[in-house]
Amino acid sequence: MARLILGVTGSVAAVRTPGLVSALVALGHEVGVAATEPSLHFFDSESLRSIGAAPGVSLYRDRDEWAESRYERNSPILHIELRKWADALIAAPLDANTLAKFAVGTADNLLTCLFRAWDFARPVVLAPAMNTLMWDSPVTRRHFRTILEDRGDARSPGDFSLDEVDRVFARHAPKIVVVPPISKRLACGDLGVGGMAEIDSIVAVVQQVVNYQFK
């Protein structure tokens, strides 16, 4: 099966990381988890050790990017090695802050460096999760548009709403798949769109892109 990098960011939805990893491993995928430091407030990284059999699940943190010893020429660079290793990149949950970094090219942690260095001939799956007003912000649409314009085809997508962002990407940048957030009672107490899609929905999309990649 496929070798997957799961990027986990600082959304409350990161509590579902062990469940998402378990579902991917159950399908035979190798999974490397690139966790931002804020994401580790929401799940126990040690819980990943008990998921699946060999080769198991690998966890990579920002501090793993560089060894404790001084850099030497030709030493491996983690985000480049992960890019070479992985067949697909998944960002779930993708919080508003990391979406903004992806859009403008900021590379200040392991995951954003990996996205900046990614070979976009390989698929990317984005599963946003954020507060409803953050999701509805025009800034969110602008950030998606920037990613689309940078990585899509030459045709202008025209104006689009966040309600159709997944369909617009499917038409203009099919290697980048957006799994839209769902409406629910959020962890903050607000009711509205912004919750990360269900694990089954994300896994189904991953299976589709992997099957297409290797057919």
Catalytic-residue membership of 188: yes
Instruction: Map residue 84 onto helix, strand or coil.
Output: helix
User: What residues form DSSP beta bridges with 184?
Assistant: 192
For tokens 């104006």, the residue is 159
From the list 53, 54, 121, 188, the catalytic residue is: 188
Residue 187 burial by Cβ neighbours in a 10 Å radius (0-12, 13-18, 19+): middle
Distance CA 3, CA 34 (A): 13
Distance CA 30, CA 1 (A): 8
Write out the DSSP string of 18-60. HHHHHHHHHTT-EEEEEE-TGGGGSS-GGGGGGSSSTT-EEEE
Under 8 Å between Cβ of 25 and 48: no
Under 8 Å between Cβ of 9 and 36: yes
Active site residues: 188
